[in-house]
Every structure is written in structure tokens, then in C-alpha cells.
Chain A
Amino acid sequence: QETATPAPGGATPPAAQKKLSVGFSQVGAESAWRTAETKSIRGEAEKRGVDLKFADAQGKQASQIQALTSFIAQKVDVIVLAPVVETGWEVVLTQAKEAKIPVILVDRGIKVSDESLYTTLIASDFVEEGRMAAEWLAKQTNGKANIYELQGSTGAAPAIDRKKGFEEALQKFPDMKIVKSQSADFTRAKGKEVMEAFIKSDRDQIQAVYAHNDDMALGAIQALDEAGMNPGKTVTLISIDGVKGAFEAMVAGKLNATVECNPLLGPLVFDTINKVRAGESVPKFIKSQDQLFEQANAAQVISTREY
């Protein structure tokens, strides 16, 4: 059996002499955002002397289900799950429920018929993020803009929800329209490539760019720069996530705003675990603090950015 680093004397969980054991099933390490999340949860576990069993699913749901099954077999106290997709969790979560192991979802919700299968969800609201982005953009452009959208991976929940929220909010602004919308797979390279294609076909009409994550926006900025188009000035860019690179771009005046989607969930997760184990009731959806940053306040926050 694997054991984590020995517990430092510090904060002990209220419930037991025995070390708290937590199983954490992570999706993988496909983005900086996710690595930051993993780091935050691992760091917090170490700090609090929790025995954290970590399973990297390499992006496969089957692996996550196996990980959960083995956590249940190993009788962990709590399961933390960052689900790779929203569906398909009924069976394994029922097992967890039967074994009386509370399940805490992080960063994305799931669709199950029985809400009691998980204890709580700690995450940002993707739809809300999209909405915030749209409203800010409308304000910034006085409700009138040709928008080019860089979508995340086709079929991925954040991509779908961020698009949905954004479009919903745009309803109120008849002069704001999405001219083109293409998937750029959440990556910088693709973001640049797709932006280049947009520039070549619609160069002078591009007034605003909305990217589902910062990486794609950074790629787009590069494309705009190379085309001599002045990102941040003639073209307004807004993206989501709030990674360090985005703040640097804002300080440089190239990115206009980013909606933070905070991956540093560690403290919140373990606080919640403690509450659950102490028998306190917790809300079904704990929204992590999402905040919109603009160029104006970017410089102050940039030093505090960890990822």
C-alpha cells in the first residue's frame, strides 16, 4: 500500500487519530490550469497531513471508474473526483454511496438522476463565466461589435457551457454578433492558426475576439501581432481562466480582460471535507470565486499569480 509523506504535526483533522485518507481521481495533465489544480490539492493535502491517493486517469473515464472502484476497495474516507465527462457515473457512485464514502466533485458537474450520489460540487460556473465575458465585452464596445469566437474542444463541457452563457448574454445586445466561431482545441498553437485564418478572410471586420481559454487567446494575440493588427487596441480580446500568461499579456496591453476560473481549489476542498466529516451540512454547489480582471488591475495581481 502506498503512503504519502509522513504527517507534520500541524492541523489534525477533527474526527480521528488515524490519518485522513482521501482518494483523488484527476483527469490528467492536459493544461496548465489542470496542473495547477492538481498541485493545489496535493500541496494542501501535504500541508494538512492527509494521506492522498492520487490517480491520473490519462483522460480516460474508464480509468477514473477503475480508480474509484479501487478507492472504494481501499476504504478511503473521502473521494475527490474531477470528472473527465459529465455522464456515466451512476454505477460507480452508487457503489461509493453504499460504502458510505462521501464524494466531492471538483471543477465540473455531473449529470445523475439521483443528486444524493455526490455530496457537493466545488467548481466554477462555466455558463456564468461565458455570461460575464459577454457582458464585459458589451460594456467595453458599447454594445456593438463583430465577434470572432475561439471554441474549446468540440463536445467538451467547458466549451459548450462557455459558448452557451456567452450567447445567452448576447441576446440583450442586438448589435453584437458572432461572425465566426471555430474550435481551436484549447491550445495556443491552434488558437494562432485559426486566428490567422480569420484574419486572412475577414481582416478589417474583426473587432472583438472571445476565446474559451487564455491559451487560445494568447495564440490569437500572436497571430494579430504578426498581421500588424494591434491586439488590445483595435481588436478587443477577452478570454477565460486567468492564467499567468494572460496577466502578462494584459500588462503588455495586448489582452483586454480575462475571467478567472480558479483552479486553486485545494484549501476549499479540504475545508469542505472537514465540514462534511464533522457532520455539518454543505451546499450542493459551492461556487469557487470567479472574478473578472481587466488591464487596469492586472498589474497589481500579477505577482500573486501562482500558475
Chain B
Amino acid sequence: MSFLRKHITVLAGLLAYLVLYAIAAARYDGFLSLPVFINFLSNNAVLGIVAVGMTFVILSGGIDLSVGAVMSFSSVLIGVLIMDHQWNVFAAVGASLVCGTTLGAVMGAIIHKTGIKPFIVTLAGMFFVRGLAFIIHLESIAIAAPQHTSIAIMRVGPLPVTAVLFLTFVAVAWYVAVLTPFGRNVYALGGGEEAAMLMGLPVQRTRIAVYAVSGFCASFAGAALTFYLSSGSHLEGVGMELDAIATVVIGGTLLAGGVGSVFGTLVGVLMLGLILTSITTYEGMMSSGLTRVAIGALLLSFVMLQKLLTRRIAGAGRAT
């Protein structure tokens, strides 16, 4: 089957993104410039990293509602460790990664062992982790440590460190999804759990790993957040799970699992960023309500455009 047919939703998404970007560029001065685009990457890096982890979970046919909470928790934990306990930055990030991954793995294990639906387990996980985050520090915490700051302002070429982290995550995740047996097992698990089990695939290991990966990504996003905001924040994670799911799904991944790609998620993240930024900051609507209406309308038109393009290209593909 041709490349075109196989990656049709992602391509259609990309095309729709370009169309909307072009419209925005025509409408707002200075939109079409490299720094603005790089801003998109770095401003949405945190969500993006979370979404990469979420991609694996959704591909496996599950869902993870705890990501926002885990991300906040990890950022607050890093803040507390650095500011209150004078930890080294890397040690603090490492500790938060261990916590996040463990939390994910525990949720995965509960899902697998008890057969409770992922939705519930991770929803409970969200409450639990949020409570935990408040317990270790009630307020958001500012991080001002020279070592931390020096990382935060680091750039690779024109790219800020958060953008680099995001792109790295996408690349690594693509590799894992496409070229490793683990990645393929994730797809298989999402395509049919029972069949995967009957085919002799390591269902249990894969499932636990998927949630561990998601926890890892979420806690890494928490670290990225501390570099982006120089603070550990309770607030940023609220509602992030829905944003992450939305970006994954508008990137063409089926919520039912088994079909989708990491690049689709990249497109989805950029798309959501484009919509939010253009409406909330460039358009400068005077009413909060209308802002929301516009965001929703744009999101919907993107999805519809993507559908339309998919149908168009698919039709063309078959004719040739």
C-alpha cells in the first residue's frame, strides 16, 4: 500500500495545519517567522511531551487521566527538592522521573491485575497524585537555583531547551513505536487485546510498560515545566489530560486503540497551540466567552478539514 494511503490522516492533518497557519499568517503581522514557530514548539513542549506518552497509552487501547496531575506533582517535587532540600538539579529530576514512572507502572499493574478499567484507575490516580502534590507543598513553588536557571536559559541553535526536549521525545517515541518489538506490541494490544494474548504476545508486560512510559513522559514534562516556568506549579496540570487526549486524537490516533502515530500527535500539539495562541493572544478578543467559542469552532473546523482531506486524498489514491 502506498505511503500516501498509509499515513493519510497524518498527512491530511499536516495539510490542514498548513492551511490554518497560512490563514493566520495572512491575518496577523509577523506570524510567519521562524521565532514565532519556535515559540510554538517551546510553548507547547510540556503538553507535547505529555501527549507523546499519552499516544502510547491510547494506541494500546487505554487512557491515562493522571498525566496532568503527575506532571504537576513532578514539577512541585523538583521544586521542593531543589529549593527546600538543596538537591542537585539532575538528582531532583531523576527522583521525579523515578516517582512518575513508578506511579505509572503501579497504575498499569492495577489495571492489569484487577481488570478495573483504565479510565477509573487513572482517574483515581489523578486524585491521588494531586492530593500528594498538595501535601508535599501547598502552593506553587518558585525555583531559583543557579544551576537550574542555567539549564533553563540554554539554547541549542535557535531552539530553547524545552523545544529540544519535545522534539527529542517525538523522535525517540517514533523510533520506539515503529522499530521496536515493544512498540509493535503496543499496536497489537490496542488492535485486539484478546487476540494479542492468544498470539502469545507479552500483554501484561506491555500494558504495565505503557502506563510506566506515560508516567515517565508526564514526569519528564514536569521537569520541562520547571525549565519553562522556573517553578513547580499545581495549576498547569489541571485539565491537561483532556488537552493531551485531544491532541493525540486530532492527530489521527483512534481512541479505541491500534491505529495512529506519534507524528500525528506532533501535528495535533502544534495545531492546538496554533489555535489557542492565535485566538487568545493575536486575535485579542474582548470577551472570554467568545474566545472559547472561537477556540471550539476552530478546533472543529480543523477536524472537519482533516476528514475532508482524508476522504479526498483517499479517493485520489484509489483512482491512481
Contact = CB atoms under 8 A, between A and B. Distances in A.
Do any CB atoms of chain A lie under 8 A from CB atoms of chain B in the complex? Answer: yes
Interface of A: 1-2, 28-29, 42, 53-63, 65-67, 69-70, 73-74, 84-91, 111-113, 154-155, 157, 160
Interface string B181-217: 0000000000000000000000000000000000000
Contacts of B231: 85, 87-88, 111
Contacts of A113: 142, 144
Nearest to A112: B142
Q: Sorted from nearest, which 9 A-B pairs have the closest CB atoms?
A: A88-B229, A87-B231, A29-B288, A88-B231, A87-B142, A111-B142, A113-B144, A67-B281, A90-B230
Contacts of B47: 62
Contacts of B280: 55-58, 63, 66-67
Contacts of B286: 42, 54
A105 B288 CA distance: 20
A230 B6 CA distance: 70
A160 B139 contact: yes
Contacts of A63: 276-277, 280-281
A270 to B, nearest CB: 17
Interface string B290-302: 0110010000000
A66 B29 contact: no
B139 A2 contact: no
Given A1-B29, A58-B291, A66-B43, A86 B281 contact: no
B158 interface: no
22 contacts: A2-B282, A2-B283, A29-B289, A54-B284, A55-B280, A55-B281, A55-B284, A57-B280, A60-B236, A62-B44, A63-B276, A65-B228, A66-B277, A67-B280, A67-B281, A69-B39, A73-B35, A84-B235, A87-B141, A88-B142, A91-B229, A155-B234
Contacts of B143: 87
Given A65-B229, A66-B281, A160-B139, 18 more contacts: A1-B28, A2-B282, A29-B287, A54-B285, A57-B280, A58-B276, A58-B291, A58-B292, A70-B282, A73-B36, A74-B30, A85-B231, A85-B235, A86-B140, A88-B229, A88-B230, A111-B142, A112-B142
A157 B139 contact: yes
Contacts of A67: 280-281
A111 to B, nearest CB: 4
A91 B142 contact: no
A117 B202 CA distance: 54
B153 interface: yes
A111 B232 CA distance: 12
A85 B233 contact: yes
B138 interface: yes
B134 interface: yes
- Could you say which interface size class chain B belongs to? 35 or more
> Residue among B28, B47, B281 with the most chain A CB within 10 A?
B281
Interface of B: 28-30, 35-36, 39, 43-44, 46-47, 134, 138-144, 149, 152-153, 228-236, 276-277, 280-289, 291-292, 295
A150 to B, nearest CB: 17
Nearest to A35: B288
Nearest to A55: B281
Contact of A62 (B142, B153, B236): B236
A70 B281 contact: yes
B58 to A, nearest CB: 22
A204 B12 CA distance: 66
A240 B144 CA distance: 33
A65 B28 contact: no
Contacts of B284: 2, 53-55
Contacts of A58: 276, 280, 288, 291-292, 295
A215 B199 CA distance: 59
Nearest to A1: B29
B139 A155 contact: yes
Nearest to B149: A90
> Residue among A42, A53, A66, A111 with the most chain B CB within 10 A?
A66
A34 to B, nearest CB: 9
A90 B153 CA distance: 11
Contacts of B140: 85-88, 155
Contacts of A57: 280
A112 B277 CA distance: 25
Contacts of B295: 58
A187 B95 CA distance: 37
Nearest to B30: A73
A91 B277 contact: no
